Every structure is written in C-alpha cells, then in structure tokens.
Amino acid sequence: MDKNCENELSVIQKAKQLISLSCYVQIIDIDIGKKTIGIIQNEIKELSFNILKFLLNADECSLTYLNESEIRRQYQREVIVSCKVLEALIDEILKSEDLKNEAYIENLGTLKNLAEDIKKMTAKWKNNDKKLLNKNISSTGGV
C-alpha cells in the first residue's frame, strides 16, 4: 500500500470501492425494462462519483475556521443523503421479481452495504467534528 493510501480516510477508500463496483455491475435485461434499469444504473454510478467528490471536498475543509467547518458539514450531509438515495435505488432494482442473476443480486447487495457503511462512517465523522468544534468554541469562549 502506498503512503497516500495509508493516510487516506477509510471512508474515502470505501467510496473508491463503491465507484469501482458501480462501474463493474452490468445492466441486466429484466422485465422492468432495460431502459429503466439503464437509467437507474447511470444514477447509481453518478451517485457513487458524487459521494467520493463530496467526501474529498469535506476532507479538504478545515475545522479551524467556522465558515469552512460549516461547508465541511454540508458536504458530509450531501454524502449521507446521497447514500440514502443510492440505497433506495438499489432497493428498487432488487424489488423486481424477474431479477434472477445471482451474481448481479450479490453485487447490488455489496453496493448497498458499502453505501450503508459510508453513510454511518460519515455520520460518525460529522458528529465527531461537531463535538470537536463545540469543545473548541467552549475553550476559547466563542468564535
């Protein structure tokens, strides 16, 4: 593992796995329509890329300045919401009774698990940032 990967937040590493898998998952022709699945699949890929982008942006924001910490929290919220949307889209595909490809179902399950992990890790990160910021505000007597 190179030095950059060792220093990288594990949530960002998971987001990279999410992108890799979302690009790997193939469109399966099922009765809800290849066009519909294709649209949903494109949305899954776009959400995956956005999740990584929001995480990288959040990681670049400093907690030292109040305005940057608010921007960071906004990016963290975007990650959490994007993960919720991604989970809902995957659930929608998995509802199809005509979906029989076990490998595809397994990959969708893995995508959903990654999105859930990223959502939880980001929420924990956001809460830790809030505690740290509140502690810093308390110790300095305000901003």
Q: What is the rounded distance in angstroms from the CA atom of residue 126 to the CA atom of residue 73?
A: 6
pLDDT value for 24? 75
Residues 44 and 92 sit within 8 Å (Cβ to Cβ): no
pLDDT at 6: 41
Distance CA 45, CA 6 (A): 26
Say how many domains are in the chain: 1
* pTM (2 d.p.): 0.84
- The pLDDT, as a whole number, for residue 138 is 65
Cβ-proximal residues to 138 (8 Å cutoff; 6+ apart), any chain: none
pLDDT at residue 2 in the model: 34
Residue 89 tokens read as 């889209």
Q: What is the pLDDT of residue 83?
A: 98
**CATH code assigned at 122:** 1.20.1440
> What's the confidence (pLDDT) of residue 23?
84
pLDDT of residue 27: 55
- Cβ count within 10 A of residue 15: 28
Range of the domain at 44: 3-140
pLDDT, one tens digit for every residue, the chain (143 residues): 333 344 468 999 999 999 999 887 765 545 455 556 667 778 899 999 999 999 999 999 988 888 999 999 999 999 999 999 999 989 988 887 767 778 888 889 999 999 999 999 999 999 999 898 887 766 665 55
Tokens 């949903």 -> residue: 40
Structure tokens at 56: 């990288």
